[in-house]
Every structure is written in C-alpha cells, then in structure tokens.
Amino acid sequence: MARKDAILNMKQVLITRRDALRKALAGDLSLLKELREQSAGDVIDAALDSAQDEISSQLAEVESRELARIENALERMRGGTYGLCENCSTKIPMARLTALPYATSCIECQREAEREGYGGMGGSDWSRVLDTGADADLTINDLEFDVS
C-alpha cells in the first residue's frame, strides 16, 4: 500500500476515534451532572460518589488530551504536513504512525526530546528538583532510608 493510501486510511481511523472520544466525553459529563442531581445519601455513598467522580474526571482528562492530539493530526492532514516530523521535517515511518496515529515527531527527534526534557533514568538533571541552597553537594550517602 502506498504511503498516501495508508495516510487516507489513517484519517478514517482518526475520525472514528475522535467521534468515539467526543461521545465518551459527552457521556462522562452527563453522568457527573446526573450524579450531582441525585440526593446525597449517607457518608459512604458520598465518598464513593466522590471517588467515582475523580476517576471519571481523570479519564476525561486523558481522553481530552487524546482528542486534542487527534484534532491536531487531522489539521495537519488538511494542511499537508501530516506524517512529517515537526522538528526535522523527515517522513515519520508508517509503522510509528500506525502505532501512534497522532505522532508529530520521528523516533529520533522524540528520543532527543525525552533526553532533553525528562531523560528517563539516566542523565536526568536533578538540579531542577533539589533545593540547591546550602546543601548543593548532596550525595546518596547523605540520604537516610527506612527499610523496615
């Protein structure tokens, strides 16, 4: 299959996923509204409702971020830049787009961004996390661990 045909198929996948996310988000909002309209019940019911609201809210946030990424990918398709890395302008491999249809960077640029941004386990810049006031020479030996 030619790259152009694969991208057209990807467009249909993105549109289908976008529509499903929109419906899910609309359903989540109506469910939360319905829960608030019901009587409070006892304290345990209220706590369970609160926990369910928090889970629904977190799921809605994840779905909203995915929806925004899909909208961006569809916009890039309309603009003719879909499948091109935003950083180096090389073609993003179809295998990557199949796995992550709203990818905006090639694997190499993504790896570089991760190294610079949050770098994983190795090479992290902990100076942004630590208060480097008086104890700037903090080492692992300075830390106490409770292993009980």
Q: What are the structural domains of the chain? A: 3-121 (1.20.120.910)
Tens digit of each residue's pLDDT (9 = 90 or more) over 56-108: 777 778 888 899 999 999 999 999 999 999 999 999 999 999 999 999 999 99
Name which of 57, 64, 69, 4 is nearest 31 in CA terms. 57
Closest CA to 92 of 64, 77, 18: 77
pLDDT of residue 37: 54
**Position 56, amino acid:** S
Q: How far is CA 50 from CA 32, 41, 85, 121, 130, in A?
A: 10, 12, 42, 35, 34
How many angstroms separate the most distant Cα atoms in the chain? 62
Round the average pLDDT of the chain to a whole number and report it. 76
At residue 147 the predicted structure's pLDDT band, cuts being 50, 70 and 90, is low
Give the confidence band of 145 by pLDDT, cuts at 50, 70, 90.
low
